[in-house]
Amino acid sequence: MKDQPNIAVIGAGVIGMTVAKLFQDQLRNANITVIAEKYSADTTSDVAAGIFKPGTHFKGSTKEITKKWLTDSWHFWQDILKSPDAEQMGVMPLGSYIFSKENYHVTRNHLIEGLVPIYRPATKEELKMAPEGTKFGSYFSTLKVECERYLPWTGKTLVERGAKMIRGKVESFASLSNYDLVFNCAGLGAKYLCNDYDLVPIRGQIIKVNAPWVKHALYGDYDTYIIPGLNGMVTLGGVRGFDSYNLNYSKYDAADILERCCEFLPDLKNAEVIAHKVGLRPHRMPVRVEPELIDGLKVVHCYGHGGNGVMTAPGTAIDAVEIGLNFLRSNVRNKL
Ligand SMILES: Cc1cc2nc3c(=O)[nH]c(=O)nc-3n(C[C@H](O)[C@H](O)[C@H](O)COP(=O)(O)OP(=O)(O)OC[C@H]3O[C@@H](n4cnc5c(N)ncnc54)[C@H](O)[C@@H]3O)c2cc1C
Ligand SMILES: *[C@@H]1O[C@H](CO)[C@@H](O)[C@H](O)[C@H]1NC(C)=O
Ligand SMILES: *[C@@H]1O[C@H](CO)[C@@H](O)[C@H](O)[C@H]1NC(C)=O
């Protein structure tokens, strides 16, 4: 292995930035270049509420890998929560309720019930927080990561330690043949880079409102959620448009979201709207974290996190980085 290997990371969303940061932690002399079309505020990652509540469909290639990704991710964020930098990095603890009028199963989550400190049924008294007719509920303690802070913080740390960030579109892996190793963290962009038809956008839209009085996250039927964040900013959602590529804001979606959220908290009607945002979740089952030798170029893929990429970024990045280090040290290229 070269003393100072040249590493490219495609993508500056939560996956690319986390992979770049963890790789730099492991190999401080690596020459890391992040290449991305879009940074910080323009990424899908920046649209996310970033709550640690995986969809129960979330998975890696085996059950053990899925569990490891979630456990590693949880501990990564918990370690940040114990540090004085937590708020600056956008990480905060958050209590959360899931309510449903009809479906008991949506109030359960086998992926985190043994992981978060508290996961219990809602009490009779707590069920009254939900719209009339609500039969089922759970409360759990979790956390949330705001990419508005996490991405700039991670980027600053990377650059201070010698990484470079360049803006540009990678048209093919062949254009990166001068690198010793490439991490493909292109999110939905991987669909075209890899001709991967298993990768599908799931369109989401949210409203950011100023409502510092909201203290808990609330989930209801029909993808309804109210998620408080730092600085009094609350995320209202949501919608899920399978295979939709439309990044335009829809006023019909916004009206629908607001109406559903007001069923829980009527005062949200009067909250100041800060922004409407739309993002395409890069959905793939399973999430792809694996090496591939492409015309002699060592590539490690890390994409397809769907609606779960913020919370699971660290776990998948730890695996991608380990795969990358082994790949870099192997002489597989020389055998060709
Ligand atoms: C409404 C909504 C709510 C969400 N809520 C949550 C939540 O509460 N919790 C959670 O964990 N997740 C949530 N998510 C999901 C989360 O946003 C995604 O899983 C995550 O952002 C994926 O990160 P990424 O880095 O893979 O993709 P992105 O953030 O899309 O980043 C991809 C990067 O690759 C670059 N790129 C792509 N192709 C190329 C190319 N050819 N050349 C150069 N650069 C390229 C892009 O410019 C960008 O920099 C939500 C998503 C949405 C839309
Ligand atoms: C680091 O990588 C950049 C981008 O590929 C390259 O221009 C530069 O020469 C590299 N530096 C070293 C010391 O190899
Ligand atoms: C998005 O909005 C732009 C500008 O209003 C419009 O030209 C475009 O057709 C819209 N795209 C879709 C998919 O509706």
Q: Does a structural domain hold residue 336?
A: no
| 143: nearest Cα among 212, 87, 68 | 87
Instruction: Tell me whether the omega of the peptide bond preceding residue 286 falls within 30 degrees of 0, making it cis.
Output: yes
Asked if residue 335 is part of any domain, the answer here is no
Starting from the CA of residue 58, give the closest ligand: 1
Residue 82 lies in a domain: yes
Q: Is residue 334 part of a domain?
A: no
Q: Which of 205, 246, 248 to mutate to test the pocket of ligand 3 (most atoms within 8 A of CB)?
A: 248
| DSSP letter, residue 123 | P
Answer whether 21's CB lies under 8 Å from 302's CB: no
**Domain total in the chain:** 1
Q: What is the pLDDT of residue 3?
A: 82
225 labelled binding-site residue:
yes
Q: Please give the chain's pLDDT, 336 residues, in tens.
A: 778 999 999 999 999 999 999 999 999 999 999 999 999 999 999 999 999 999 999 999 999 999 999 999 999 999 999 999 999 999 999 999 999 999 999 999 999 999 999 999 999 999 999 999 999 999 999 999 999 999 999 999 999 999 999 999 999 999 999 999 999 999 999 999 999 999 999 999 999 999 999 999 999 999 999 999 999 999 999 999 999 999 999 999 999 999 999 999 999 999 999 999 999 999 999 999 999 999 999 999 999 999 999 999 999 999 999 999 999 999 775 444
Residue 33 in domain: yes
Is the CB of 246 within 6 Å of ligand 3? yes
**Any domain includes 157:** yes
Q: Give the span between the Cα atoms of 202 and 116, in whole angstroms.
A: 27
What is the span of the domain harbouring residue 322? 6-329
Is residue 257, in this structure, part of any structural domain at all? yes
158 located within any domain: yes
CATH number at residue 284: 3.40.50.720
Our answer on whether the CB atom of 245 is closer than 6 Å to any ligand 3 atom is no
